[in-house]
Amino acid sequence: MSVIPSRHKSLVLLTGVVVLQILLLAVQIKRDSQGRLIRVWTVGAVSPFEKAGTSGIGRIRNVWNHYFALQNTSRENEDLRRENGSLKLQLTQLQGKAAEADRLAALLSFRQSHQKVPMLGARVIGASADTASQTISIDRGERDGIRRNMGVITADGVVGKVIEAYSDTSQVLLLTDKDSGVGAMLAESRIQGPVGGTGEPLLAMKYVANDDDVKMGEAVVTSGMDRIFPPDLPVGTVREIKAGSPFKQIRVRPAANLERLEEVIVLLTLQPLELKKAAVPAAEAAGSKTSGEAVTEKR
Amino acid sequence: MNDAFDLRIAESHIEVHKFHGGAIVIATALALLVQTFVPVYFSKFSIIDLPLLLTIYFGLSRRNPSTGLLLGMVIGLLQDSLSGPTVPLGLYGIAKTIIGYLASSIGARLDTEHPAARFALTIFFVGVHQGLITLTRRLLLAQPETFFTVHLAIAAAINAVIAVALFALLDQLRKS
């Protein structure tokens, strides 16, 4: 049975396995997004741990903030520590409530100014296992009404779009990913140009002619041309402007803190959106984070 | 995959390490979980490729090319699955299959227990891994990628430092 010499068996196995995976790649390229079942299984198997981990980290943080961190101060003076610890605990609770109230107020304001848009709050439970791509996992999926290509934002601004919706979780492509893009325009001059990711923290605004006047620090907002995001949502601010050929090279800092997302809002519609101008601009309304449940509204 | 194997390699002076039952499976699952979970709170963590480090470690330790490449394939495909639709299934699978094979083959010929050897080999493997990813992206996915960046050099160095500590930790899982 040993047609292949044993010393070459592993090499043959290697070749076979690599060829199989190349075929797998080829099938996916031809039939966009096939082979989805293994993704569903894997994500389904991992997401409960991610959810549990998120919850666990929150608890550990609470325990650390409310107990261990305060315990350190007790070394100096036990009585003073108790009193101080108690006050700190109260202060932390009050600050937490105040921050939560701020966030809810910001979200309410944001929500009121975008009443016609169905939205859903979601918690970030994971990031991409690929070191190069910029995606996150959220704890809401098809059962909650989420579909591919829905926009994802925070009260600060645009985050990205849903690229895969599973039953209970979804994956979101962040604006900073190289494959990402959003229809955008400069807030003051209304000059339009798509903004896309570069794989780095700053985004790139394309197709702005060298003759056009662009100011440093100028706000960049959505144009609505991508039919995913409504117009006038904050995308970012201009941080670098260089003359290029034939277009300006403009770098934009994202309005939303994409490196530290904990909660996001999913725009539950695939229809082109038209929004009234916000009474309170979303950027100003942004407290810091969003509250998942506070903005939940299904179509 | 069986954690215990009794392959007798030609270089009998190189010790083949066995691991406690389930150690590889648990370590792999933990690595994938940490890889997807920690960057939510610490985005810079994504520069570390824990699944790659595990592929290298188990390849170097077990020194069986067949199991090395199969383990690399499984880890790579799982990583692909957890990376979202922008990463097609097989991208990391191919790269880690080859890394698993190379690591096992090198492990069968060299003594890779010394931290300096592990450091150097990890830098080498991170470079090869990235080269394979870039090659696959260019040839099969028609995505323009550069083979060498400063970021890659920094990533290789950081991964190598982490590898020295991680490998020492994983040594504890070996059967004595």
ipTM for the predicted complex: 0.74
Contact yes or no for A236/B19 (Cβ under 8 A):
no
Residue showing tokens 């470690």: B57
Cα separation, A15 vs A19, whole angstroms: 6
- Please state the φ and ψ torsions of residue B167, each to the nearest 5 degrees: -65, -40
Q: Contact, A203 vs A176, CB < 8 A?
A: yes
**Chain B environment of A131 (Cβ under 8 Å):** 46-49, 155
pLDDT given for residue B170 in this prediction: 92
Q: What percentage of chain A has pLDDT greater than the value 90?
A: 27
Q: Which residue has the higher pLDDT, A44 or A15?
A: A15
Q: What is the pLDDT of residue A107?
A: 57
| B88 → chain A, closest CA residue | A25
Q: SS in 3 state form for chain A?
A: CCCCCHHHHHHHHHHHHHHHHHHHHHHHHHCCCCCHHHHHHHHHHHHHHHHHHHHHHHHHHHHHHHHHHHHHHCCCCHHHHHHHHHHHHHHHHHHHHHHHHHHHHHHHHHHHHCCCCCEEEEEEEEECCCCCCCEEEECCCHHHCCCCCCEEECCCCEEEEEEEECCCCEEEEECCCCCCEECEEECCCCCECCEECCCCCCEEECCCECCCCCCCCCEEEECCCCCCCCCCCEEEEEEEEECCCCECEEEEEECCCCCCCCEEEEECCCCCCCCCCCCCCHHHHCCCCCCCHHHCCCC
> Does any CB of chain B come closer than 8 Å to the CB of residue A60?
no
Label the pairing between strands A135-138 and A151-153: unpaired
Percentage of chain A with pLDDT > 70? 73
Compute the distance between CA of residue A274 and CA of residue A265 in angstroms, rounded to an integer. 17
Sign of the torsion angle spanned by Cα atoms B49, B50, B55, B58:
positive
Asked if A135 and B47 come within 8 Å (Cβ–Cβ), the reply is no
Residue A279 has pLDDT above 90, yes or no: no
pLDDT at residue A7, rounded to an integer = 66
Contact B77 A49 (CB under 8 A): no
How does pLDDT run across A49-97, given as a tens digit for each residue? Answer: 888 888 888 888 877 777 766 666 555 667 776 777 678 778 877 886 7
pTM over 0.90, yes/no: no
Let me know if A170 is exposed, middle or buried by CB neighbors in 10 A (0-12, 13-18, 19+): buried
Q: What is the pLDDT of residues A2-40, one digit of tens each?
A: 566 666 788 888 899 888 888 888 777 654 444 455 677
Q: Do A54 and B73 touch (CB under 8 A)?
A: no
A251 pLDDT tier (thresholds 50, 70, 90): very high
* Residue A21 to residue A227: CA distance in whole angstroms: 36
Distance CA(B94)–CA(B24), nearest Å, equals 20
CA distance B50 to B31: 6
Lowest mean pLDDT: which of A115-129, A281-295, B88-102, B151-165?
A281-295
User: Which residues in A219-247 are b (16+ Cβ under 10 Å) and which e?
Assistant: bbbbbbebebbbbbbbbbbbeebeeeeee
The pLDDT tens digits of the residues spanning A205-241 come to 999 988 888 889 999 999 888 888 888 889 999 999 9
Least confident of A128-132, A190-194, A221-225, B120-124: A128-132
Q: Of the candidates A14, A28, A29, which has its C-beta nearest B97's C-beta?
A: A14
Q: By the 8 A CB rule, do B59 and B102 touch?
A: yes
| pLDDT at residue A54, rounded to an integer | 82
- Could you tell me the maximum CA-CA distance found in chain B, to the nearest angstrom? 48
pLDDT band at A250 (very low <50, low <70, confident <90, very high): very high
Q: Residue B69: list chain A partners with CB under 8 A.
A: 10, 13-14, 17
| Coil, helix or strand at residue B106 | helix
Pairing type for strands A135-138 and A170-174 reads: antiparallel
Quote the CA–CA distance of B88 and A34 in Å, as a whole number: 10
pLDDT at A25: 80
Do the chains contact at B39 and A127, CB–CB below 8 Å? yes
Residue indicated by tokens 């807030």: A187
3-state secondary structure of B51: helix
Q: Which of A117, A116, A157, A165 is nearest to A139 (CA)?
A: A165
The Cα A243–Cα A249 span in angstroms is 6
Residues 144-203 of A with CB under 8 A from B: 163-164, 171, 173, 177, 179
User: What was the pLDDT predicted at A29?
Assistant: 65
Q: What is the pLDDT of residue A255?
A: 92
Neighbours of A262 (CB within 10 A): 17
Q: What is the pLDDT along chain B (176 residues), one digit of tens a residue?
A: 444 444 444 444 567 778 887 899 999 999 999 998 888 888 889 899 999 999 999 999 888 899 999 999 999 999 998 887 778 889 999 999 999 999 999 988 887 889 999 999 999 999 999 999 999 988 887 788 888 888 889 999 999 999 999 999 999 888 76
- Poorest-pLDDT segment among A130-139, A144-153, B90-99: A130-139
Residue of A8, A17, A31, A176 best to disrupt the B interface, most CBs of B under 10 A: A17
- A203 CB burial (10 A radius; 0-12, 13-18, 19+): buried
Rounded distance between C-alpha atoms, residue A252 and residue A240, angstroms: 7
Q: Which of A57, A128, A137 is nearest residue B41 as measured by Cβ atoms?
A: A57
User: How far apart, in whole angstroms, are the C-alpha atoms of residue A238 and residue A136?
Assistant: 25
Cβ B94–A18 below 8 Å, yes or no? yes
Residue B41 confidence (pLDDT):
84
Give residue A293's pLDDT.
Answer: 36
In this prediction, residue A297 carries a pLDDT of: 36
Nearest residue of chain A to residue B63 (CA atoms): A10
List of chain B residues whose C-beta atoms are within 8 Å of the C-beta of residue A35: 89
Looking at residue A103, what is its pLDDT?
Answer: 55
Q: Which of B134, B131, B62, B136 is nearest to B94 (CA)?
A: B136
Which residue on chain B is closest to A22 by alpha carbon? B90
**Model pLDDT, residue B4:** 40
Please tell me the predicted confidence (pLDDT) of residue A221.
Answer: 92
Distance from the Cα of A83 to chain B's closest Cα (Å) equals 32
Residues from chain A contacting residue B82 (CB–CB below 8 Å): 42-43, 46, 126, 128-129
A260 reaches B (C-beta below 8 A): yes
Chain A residues with beta carbon closer than 8 angstroms to that of B90: 21-22, 24-25, 28
Q: Residue B19: helix, strand or coil by DSSP?
A: strand
pLDDT given at position B30 = 93
Q: Shortest CB distance from A17 goes to which of B51, B73, B83?
A: B73
Nearest to B79 among A17, A28, A129 (CB): A129
B114: left (phi over 0), alpha (psi -120 to 50) or beta: beta
Answer whether A261 touches B (CB < 8 Å).
yes
Look at residue B83 in the predicted model and tell me its pLDDT.
85
CA dist list (Å): A77 to A72, A83, A85, A216, A299: 10, 10, 11, 52, 57
